């Protein structure tokens, strides 16, 4: 089981491919606040709802200095399909070997329909301009989560 991040922790660095296969690093966002959210799979109902919510609120979040990055175990080809189909504007990164998911505490045991399974734990980590964890939210719901973040951040 991977360790969950706590406020004040330095966010683990990462470089992952985006939907176009281009390498994107957390370091590329230095000096900006970043919302990194982890979701189980592109093109599934809950993950689509969450990605669309982030896209719908991207201007508001960006206006307050937040970049949004979604990370799943999907390969770039599937992320590209997801982006095109849903007209997504958030940066989608693929972590097929799940290293970043594990480093952020977003992969491990979870309950699914009453059974314990190992998989992606829907999570959101909010980082400050220096790459420190401001908030780490685990086992979040896909629906209504973005609205809750906006409310909690007072945006």
pLDDT by residue (tens digit) across 117-137? 999 999 999 999 999 999 999
In the predicted model, is pLDDT for residue 1 greater than 50? no
Of the candidates 79, 72, 88, the one whose C-alpha atom is nearest the C-alpha of residue 37 is: 72
Task: Cite the DSSP H helix spans in 11-138.
Answer: 45-56, 58-63, 76-86, 99-103
The pLDDT tens digits of the residues spanning 46-70 come to 999 999 999 999 999 999 999 999 9
In the predicted model, is pLDDT for residue 78 greater than 90? yes
Q: CA 36, CA 106: separation in Å to the nearest integer?
A: 11
Q: CA 5, CA 21: separation in Å to the nearest integer?
A: 28
Query: What is the pLDDT averaged over residues 144-155?
Result: 94
Q: Do residues 121 and 108 make contact, with C-beta atoms less than 8 angstroms apart?
A: yes
Question: Does 52 participate in catalysis according to the annotation?
Answer: no
Q: What is the pTM of this model?
A: 0.95
Residue 2: predicted pLDDT: 60
Out of 35, 47, 80, 133, pick the active-site residue.
47
């Amino acid at each position: 089981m991977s360790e969950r991040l706590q406020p004040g922790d330095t966010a683990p660095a990462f470089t992952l491919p985006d939907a176009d296969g281009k390498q994107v690093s957390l370091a590329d966002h230095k000096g900006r606040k970043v919302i990194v959210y982890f979701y189980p799979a592109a093109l599934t109902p809950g993950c689509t709802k969450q990605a669309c919510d982030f896209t719908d609120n991207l201007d508001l979040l960006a206006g307050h200095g937040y970049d949004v990055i979604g990370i799943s175990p999907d390969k770039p080809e599937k992320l590209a399909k997801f982006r095109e189909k849903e007209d997504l504007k958030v940066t989608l990164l693929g972590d097929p070997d799940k290293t970043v998911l594990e480093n952020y505490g977003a992969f491990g045991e979870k309950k699914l329909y009453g059974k314990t399974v190992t998989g992606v734990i829907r999570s959101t980590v909010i980082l400050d301009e220096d790459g420190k964890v401001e908030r780490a939210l685990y086992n979040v719901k896909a629906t209504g989560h973005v609205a809750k973040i906006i409310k909690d951040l007072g945006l």
